[in-house]
C-alpha cells in the first residue's frame, strides 16, 4: 500500500473508516480545489477516497462548486427513489414540469417545509366543496332550478352547521374571526350555487357525478402510461364534477372544477407540461368511462370561479352594474368541443353568458374551442408528456430549470420552498414559457400531426 504524506493526519492513521466529522472537514477543505485554488494534498486526497463511500460526496461538492445541473447519475438508484411503477396525481405532474428539482425535493426526498397552518383558507375551500357536493347530490339540475332561494339558503346553512359540528367540534370554542370566515365561505357557496342554477336553466348537460374518484377499485380506473424501461406512470385523483349530455347514442363528457383562487386555462401551457389536470381527468373518462357512461366523447373542461363579486366596480355602482359584473366574473372558462350542437347544449342560444363560447353577429362559432381531432391529438400529446416525465425521472434528470412566464408561473422560484437548496440566482437559465394565443396553439397542435 502506498503512503501519501500530503493526506491530512486525521485520515492517515491506520487508514481506518472515516468519521463523519472528518469527512465534513475534507469536503470543506476540498472546495477550493474546484475553484482554482489547489491545496497541496488535493491529488492525494482524491486518490485516497477513490472507491470509498465518500467518493460520491466529494463529487457532489465538485458539482456544487462547478454549478453543474442536478441529476442522479445512477438510473437504478433514481428508479428505486421514484419507483419503477409510479403512482402520482395530476398536480404532481404539474410540479415536475414547473421544476424537476422541486419534484425531487418534494416527492423524491419528501422534504417538507415547516409552516404555520393556514386553517381558515383550507377549511373554507373544504366547506365550499362540501356544500356544493351535498346540494348537487340531493337533486337533479332541473330540480335545483325550481328551488326557492329561502329553501336553498336554509339548506346551505344546515349543511354548514353539520360540517362545523362533525369536523370542527362545533362553534362554541371558535374565535370570532374563524366564525366570520366560515360564514363568508357559506355565503360564497350560495352565490356559486345561484350562478350554477342560472346556468342549469339554459343547459342540457346533467350532473352525473361529484367528487368522482379515479383510482383502482373506485369509480373510474386510473390513467396509466407505460414507460420505455418497462415501468409505468399511473395517475389517480378526484374530479369535482362530471356533466353528461346524451345525444344520438353518444355521451358527451364535461369535467368541471371549482377554483376558489381563480384559474385561466391556456392550451399553450399544455405544450410545456402544465395545466394538464383537467385534461388528464377528461382523457381518463374518455378511455375508462365507457362502462359507466356509454359511448364517451370529450365535450370539454370548465373552471367555475368562486369569486364572482362585483369588486372591480366603483363604490356607487348600481345594482344592475353589480349583477352584470358578477355575471362576467363568474363566467366559466376552459375549452369546449368545436361543435355548435355541444355549445348550444351547454348554453342554449350560444350567447356566451355562462361559458367562454358564443355565436357572433356573423353567425360563426367563437371561443376557446377544439375539434374532436384536436382532442385526440391532445390525448396523444398528454400521453407523450407523462411518458417523458416518467422516463426522465428514471434516468435521474432533476435539473433546477423552472418554468417561468405565463400568468400562473410568473413567480415560480419566489415562493418555492426549496429555493435555498437549489442555489439559483436571477442570472441563471430558466425555461421560458411563451404566451401563445389559443388559435395559434390549435394550429401548433394540429400542425404537429401534419409534420409527423
**Using an 8 Å Cβ cutoff, are 145 and 256 in contact?**
no
Question: In this predicted structure, which of 53-57, 200-204, 419-423 has the lowest mean pLDDT?
Answer: 53-57
Confidence class for position 405, pLDDT limits 50, 70, 90: confident
**Using an 8 Å Cβ cutoff, are 403 and 98 in contact?**
yes
| Strand order across the beta sheet in which 237-247 lies | 206-214, 237-247, 250-259, 296-305, 333-337, 369-370
Would strands 333-337 and 296-305 be described as parallel, antiparallel, or unpaired? antiparallel
For the segment 382-410, the average pLDDT, to the nearest whole number, is: 91
Q: How far apart are CA 228 and CA 345, in angstroms?
A: 42
Is the model's pLDDT at 71 over the cut of 70?
A: yes
Amino acid 54: pLDDT: 72
For residues 12-46, one letter each, b for 16 or more C-beta atoms within 10 angstroms of the residue's C-beta and e for the rest, the string is: eeeeeebeeeebeebbeebeebbeeeeeebbebbe
For the segment 371-378, the average pLDDT, to the nearest whole number, is: 97
Is the model's pLDDT at 158 over the cut of 90?
A: yes
Angle of the 55-66 helix axis to the 42-49 helix axis, nearest 10: 130
Amino acid 9: pLDDT: 43
**Using an 8 Å Cβ cutoff, are 354 and 331 in contact?**
yes
**Using an 8 Å Cβ cutoff, are 291 and 275 in contact?**
no
Q: How far apart are CA 123 and CA 119, in angstroms?
A: 6
Amino acid 329: pLDDT: 74
Is the model's pLDDT at 337 over the cut of 70?
A: yes
Q: What is the torsion angle, in degrees rounded to the nearest 10, for the CA atoms of residue 320, residue 324, residue 330 and residue 333? A: 170
Amino acid 307: pLDDT: 63
Q: Is the pTM of this model over 0.75?
A: yes
Cell numbers standing for residue 391: 422516463
Amino acid 313: pLDDT: 62
Q: How far apart are CA 86 and CA 388, in angstroms?
A: 13
Nearest Cα neighbor of 145 from 211, 189, 206 is: 206
Residue % of the chain over a pLDDT of 90: 61
For the segment 400-413, the average pLDDT, to the nearest whole number, is: 81
Is the model's pLDDT at 188 over the cut of 70?
A: yes
Amino acid 30: pLDDT: 47
Average pLDDT, the chain: 85
Q: How far apart are CA 121 and CA 319, in angstroms?
A: 29
Chain Cα centroid distance, residue 268: 15
For the segment 78-89, the average pLDDT, to the nearest whole number, is: 96
| Strand order across the beta sheet in which 85-88 lies | 85-88, 232-235, 223-226
Is the model's pLDDT at 395 over the cut of 80?
A: yes
Is the model's pLDDT at 305 over the cut of 70?
A: yes
Nearest Cα neighbor of 414 from 432, 426, 400, 397 is: 426
Would strands 333-337 and 237-247 be described as parallel, antiparallel, or unpaired? unpaired
Write the DSSP string, 73-134.
S-HHHHHHHH-SEEEE-HHHHHHHHH-HHHHIIIIIS---------HHHHHHHHHHHHHHHH
Amino acid 159: pLDDT: 97
Question: In this predicted structure, which of 289-298, 334-343, 415-424 has the lowest mean pLDDT?
Answer: 415-424
The DSSP call for residue 212 is E
For the segment 81-88, the average pLDDT, to the nearest whole number, is: 97
Confidence class for position 262, pLDDT limits 50, 70, 90: low
* CA 107-109-114 angle, 5° bins: 85
Ranges 16-25, 57-66, 256-265, 363-372, most confident: 363-372
Instruction: Give per-residue pLDDT as tens, 419-428.
Output: 888 878 878 8
For the segment 115-127, the average pLDDT, to the nearest whole number, is: 73
Amino acid 130: pLDDT: 95
Instruction: Give per-residue pLDDT as tens, 224-242.
Output: 999 999 999 999 999 999 9
Instruction: Give per-residue pLDDT as tens, 9-52.
Output: 444 444 445 454 454 454 445 445 444 454 555 666 677 777 77
Amino acid 373: pLDDT: 97
Residue % of the chain over a pLDDT of 70: 80
**Using an 8 Å Cβ cutoff, are 345 and 203 in contact?**
yes
Q: How far apart are CA 378 and CA 267, in angstroms?
A: 10
Q: How far apart are CA 416 and CA 427, in angstroms?
A: 17
Is the model's pLDDT at 331 over the cut of 90?
A: no
Would strands 333-337 and 365-367 be described as parallel, antiparallel, or unpaired? unpaired
Amino acid 65: pLDDT: 63
For the segment 303-318, the average pLDDT, to the nearest whole number, is: 69
Q: Which residue has the higher pLDDT, 160 or 9?
A: 160
Cell numbers standing for residue 47: 486518490
Amino acid at each position: 500500500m502506498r503512503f501519501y504524506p500530503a493526506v491530512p493526519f486525521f485520515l492517515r492513521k491506520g487508514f481506518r473508516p472515516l468519521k463523519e466529522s472528518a469527512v465534513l472537514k475534507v469536503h470543506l477543505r476540498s472546495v477550493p480545489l474546484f475553484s482554482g485554488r489547489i491545496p497541496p494534498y488535493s491529488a492525494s486526497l482524491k486518490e485516497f477516497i477513490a472507491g470509498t463511500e465518500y467518493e460520491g460526496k466529494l463529487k457532489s461538492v465538485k458539482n456544487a462548486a462547478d454549478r453543474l445541473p442536478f441529476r442522479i447519475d445512477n438510473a437504478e438508484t433514481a428508479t428505486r427513489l421514484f419507483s419503477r411503477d409510479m403512482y402520482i396525481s395530476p398536480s404532481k405532474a404539474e410540479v415536475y414540469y414547473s421544476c424537476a428539482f422541486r419534484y425531487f425535493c418534494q416527492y423524491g426526498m419528501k422534504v417538507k417545509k415547516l409552516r404555520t397552518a393556514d386553517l381558515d383558507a383550507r377549511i373554507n375551500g373544504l366547506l365550499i366543496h362540501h356544500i356544493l357536493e351535498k346540494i348537487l347530490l340531493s337533486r337533479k339540475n332541473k330540480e335545483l332550478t325550481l328551488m326557492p332561494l329561502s329553501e336553498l339558503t336554509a339548506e346551505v346553512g344546515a349543511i354548514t352547521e353539520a360540517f362545523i359540528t362533525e369536523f370542527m367540534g362545533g362553534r362554541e370554542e371558535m374565535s370570532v374571526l374563524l366564525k366570520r370566515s366560515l360564514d363568508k365561505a357559506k355565503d360564497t357557496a350560495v352565490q356559486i350555487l345561484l350562478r350554477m342554477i342560472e346556468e342549469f336553466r339554459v343547459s342540457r348537460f346533467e350532473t352525473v357525478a361529484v367528487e368522482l374518484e379515479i383510482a383502482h377499485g373506485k369509480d373510474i380506473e386510473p390513467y396509466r402510461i407505460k414507460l420505455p424501461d418497462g415501468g409505468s406512470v399511473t395517475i389517480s385523483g378526484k374530479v369535482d364534477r362530471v356533466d353528461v349530455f346524451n345525444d344520438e347514442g353518444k355521451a358527451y363528457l364535461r369535467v368541471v372544477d371549482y377554483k376558489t383562487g381563480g384559474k385561466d386555462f391556456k392550451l399553450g401551457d399544455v405544450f410545456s407540461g402544465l395545466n394538464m389536470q383537467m385534461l388528464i381527468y377528461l382523457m381518463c373518462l374518455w378511455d375508462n368511462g365507457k362502462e359507466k357512461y356509454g359511448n364517451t366523447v370529450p365535450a370539454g373542461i370548465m373552471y367555475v370561479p368562486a369569486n364572482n363579486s362585483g369588486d372591480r366596480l366603483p363604490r356607487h355602482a348600481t345594482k344592475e352594474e353589480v349583477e352584470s359584473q358578477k355575471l362576467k366574473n363568474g363566467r366559466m372558462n376552459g375549452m369546449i368541443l368545436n361543435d355548435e350542437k355541444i355549445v348550444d347544449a351547454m348554453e342554449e342560444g350560444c350567447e356566451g353568458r355562462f361559458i367562454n363560447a358564443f355565436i357572433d353577429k356573423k353567425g360563426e362559432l367563437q371561443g376557446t374551442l377544439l375539434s374532436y381531432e384536436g382532442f385526440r391529438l391532445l390525448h396523444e400529446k398528454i400521453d407523450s408528456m407523462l411518458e417523458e416525465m416518467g422516463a426522465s425521472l428514471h434516468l435521474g434528470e432533476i435539473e433546477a430549470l423552472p418554468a417561468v412566464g405565463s400568468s400562473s408561473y410568473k413567480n415560480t422560484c419566489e415562493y418555492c420552498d426549496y429555493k435555498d437548496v437549489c442555489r439559483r440566482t436571477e442570472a441563471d437559465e430558466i425555461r421560458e414559457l411563451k404566451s401563445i394565443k389559443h388559435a395559434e396553439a390549435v394550429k401548433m397542435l394540429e400542425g404537429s400531426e401534419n409534420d409527423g
